[in-house]
Amino acid sequence: MSIKENYQAIKNQLPAEVQLVAVSKTHPASAVQEAYDLGQKVFGENKVQELMEKAPLLPEDIQWHLIGHLQTNKVKYIAPFIDTIQSVDSEKLLAEINKESGKNNRIIKVLLQVKIAAEDTKFGLEISEAKELFQQYLAGKYPNTEITGLMGMATFTDDEQQIRKEFLTLKRLFDELNQLKTLNTLSMGMSDDFPLAIECGANSIRVGSAIFGKRDYSI
Ligand SMILES: *Cc1c(COP(=O)(O)O)cnc(C)c1O
């Protein structure tokens, strides 16, 4: 199927209040442009270098989301233009984002990435760490950032029960933090599990291969 067919099939399935982040990693700027021309404005990349190469080739009103693990020494490159950093997985990283957004006179939106998967390969804050960081944020420690929500990735498995359990864990934390300060984004769900994520309360999904096709890491 073409990008157009894939994109329209997904858009047709999505409730109006669910944000679609089109994950364009490994795909060329021309593919991003194609999705943009269909009306998509929010794109996700997981590597700073790839984002830095692509962004200048594309329309300026694209909202770029960084969705992959981010090293503190690379924050400065994306701070001038990044819309949202979805992958805040340490206090050190949030402090660095706060510093660099200040230098750029911006408020950068961030999501706290919480570890919900059983696998230990995934990055993310433990639930207790996320709560603590959020408390520091509420106390005014990171004034140049805005924590707009949470992000999580479920275990890579066919076991739907397991995935559901993990998504609901994040939804519960979202509801809890939302009592302290209104959050608007619960980012969970990818190509294979976004319908389940939405059922579990996601209002933002990150979809790559279901739009752009399989990724080829060999090139
Ligand atoms: C690659 C990636 C996605 C999209 O994955 P697909 O399975 O291609 O939809 C979503 N979230 C993160 C963090 C990713 O790295």
Note whether residue 104 is domain-resident.
Answer: yes
Q: Does residue 137 lie within any of the structural domains?
A: yes
Domain of 131, CATH number, reads: 3.20.20.10
Q: Left, alpha or beta for 104 (phi > 0: left; psi -120 to 50: alpha)?
A: alpha
pLDDT at 214: 87
Task: Specify the pLDDT at position 120.
Answer: 73
Angle between helices 160-180 and 127-138 (to 10 degrees): 20
The verdict on residue 218 lying in a domain is no
Which atom number of ligand 1 is nearest to the Cα of residue 207?
9
The verdict on residue 86 lying in a domain is yes
User: Within a domain: residue 159?
Assistant: yes
Please tell me the distance from the alpha carbon of residue 212 to that of residue 138, in angstroms, as a whole number.
38
- 155 ligand 1 Cβ < 6 A: no
Domain limits for position 149: 3-206
Indicate whether 78 belongs to any domain: yes
pLDDT in tens for each of the 219 residues of the chain?
Answer: 899 999 999 999 999 999 999 999 999 999 999 999 999 999 999 999 999 999 999 999 999 999 999 999 999 999 999 999 999 999 999 999 999 999 999 999 999 999 999 887 668 999 999 999 999 999 999 999 999 999 999 999 999 999 999 999 999 999 999 999 999 999 999 999 999 999 999 999 999 999 999 887 765
Q: Is 85 in the pocket of ligand 1 (CB under 6 A)?
A: no
Residue 41 counted as domain residue: yes
How many domains in the chain?
Answer: 1
Pocket of ligand 1 contains residue 191 by CB under 6 Å: yes
Cα three-residue angle 30-35-39, rounded to 5 degrees: 135
Question: How many CB atoms neighbour CB 139 within 10 A?
Answer: 8
2, HSE (Cβ side, Cα atoms, 13 Å): 6
Classify residue 216: in a domain, yes or no.
no
Q: Which of 206, 211, 212, 215 is the best mutation target for the ligand 1 pocket, counting ligand atoms within 8 Å of the beta carbon and taking the most?
A: 206
Structure tokens at 80: 């001038």
Per-residue pLDDT at 218 = 67
Q: What pLDDT, in 10s, does the model give residues 164-215?
A: 999 999 999 999 999 999 999 999 999 999 999 999 999 999 999 999 998 8
- Cβ(189) – ligand 1 distance below 6 Å: no
For ligand 1, whether the C-beta of 209 sits within 6 Å is: yes
C-alpha of residue 85 to centroid of ligand 1, in Å: 14
